[in-house]
Amino acid sequence: MKSPTPPVAPTPTPQPNPPGWLRRHLRIYAALWRNSVTREMTFKTNFLLWIVVELLWFALQLCFIGVLYLHTDAIGTWTRWQVVLLVGTSHFIQEIFQAFFLINCANLSELVRTGKLDFLLVLPANSRFLVSLRQVDLGSFVNAATALVVMGYAAHQLDLQLTPARLLAFSALCLCGILVHYSLMFLLASISFWTVKAQGIVWGYYNLFQLARMPDEAFRGLFRVVFTFVFPVLLVTNVPVRVLAEKLDSPFWPCLLVLLAALCLVLSEWGWRLSLRRYTSASS
């Protein structure tokens, strides 16, 4: 007679770990940050000078708004401190975009022209990840913090009720705005696979950012349509500020911004893959 088989203890369920590719990309990104810090600290004077220049430019924008409101009480339905909040938000979105993406998008055409893109394509990591995030502009974080201070002061002057839900919605919409800017600029930079040099197109789009600091009600007709739906520089700042300042009259605009962010991201990925198929490398 067989002895009863002792009960087998259940095997503990292994705890889920981040996938290998995610850990690898996080390690790569940490190394890219270290390289960026080393590069910035090598040229400390240049690092500090660019921070001062950006701060002066931000101060000039605020002075422009101050002068503008000496001659009018409102732009459409926008009061003075609402526009200051808009300028601060525009500057914040621009600086965060600049910190992570601007220099990398601008340098894509040089990678293509010189063939240095070959070295990124053979690395065991996503090529778009490497191209988009290989350099970090640390000074832009300082300027983004300054924009946050201005935004906070403007919100205090407006006596806004900054509930957690409203702040979360505002942050999410700002993130969508940054993704729209990144996706469109990356798509425009990918034109360099056909034209070799595309810095003019990239910096041309970057200069359109200045329109974002103005209320959308200041524009009419075809101009407003183009810069709301085709190059949505007005949409990416006005919508988050309208949510924060309780000026939103319809949920259509936040939904549109989220949809545009997703659409632009998919479109830029399609453009990137199409561009890579055209790339012939430096050895061809």
pLDDT at 227: 85
Bridge partners (DSSP) of residue 75 are 78
pLDDT at 283: 56
Q: What's the farthest any 2 CA atoms get from each other in the chain?
A: 104
On whether residue 158 sits in a domain, the answer given is yes
pLDDT at 232: 87
On whether residue 79 sits in a domain, the answer given is yes
Tell me the residue range of the domain where 181 lies. 28-278
- Cα separation, 209 vs 206, whole angstroms: 6
114 to 35, 44, 127, 193, 282: CA distances (angstroms): 21, 28, 17, 12, 7
78: three-class secondary structure by DSSP: strand
> Per-residue confidence of the chain (284 residues) as pLDDT tens digits?
445 555 444 444 444 455 676 788 888 888 888 888 887 777 778 778 888 888 898 999 899 888 888 888 888 788 899 999 999 999 999 999 999 999 899 888 888 888 888 888 888 888 899 899 988 888 889 999 999 999 999 999 999 888 899 999 999 999 999 999 999 999 999 888 888 777 778 888 888 888 888 888 888 888 888 888 888 888 899 999 999 988 887 889 999 999 999 999 999 999 999 988 888 765 55
On whether residue 256 sits in a domain, the answer given is yes
Task: Report residue 78: phi and psi, to 5°.
Answer: -90, 125
- Tokens coding 71: 């001659």
On whether residue 16 sits in a domain, the answer given is no
pLDDT at 14: 46
On whether residue 15 sits in a domain, the answer given is no
pLDDT at 13: 42
On whether residue 20 sits in a domain, the answer given is no
On whether residue 161 sits in a domain, the answer given is yes
Query: What's the total number of domains in the chain?
Result: 1
pLDDT at 196: 72
199 to 66, 189, 238: CA distances (angstroms): 34, 7, 27
pLDDT at 277: 87
On whether residue 130 sits in a domain, the answer given is yes
pLDDT at 15: 46
- Cα separation, 3 vs 6, whole angstroms: 9
pTM: 0.85
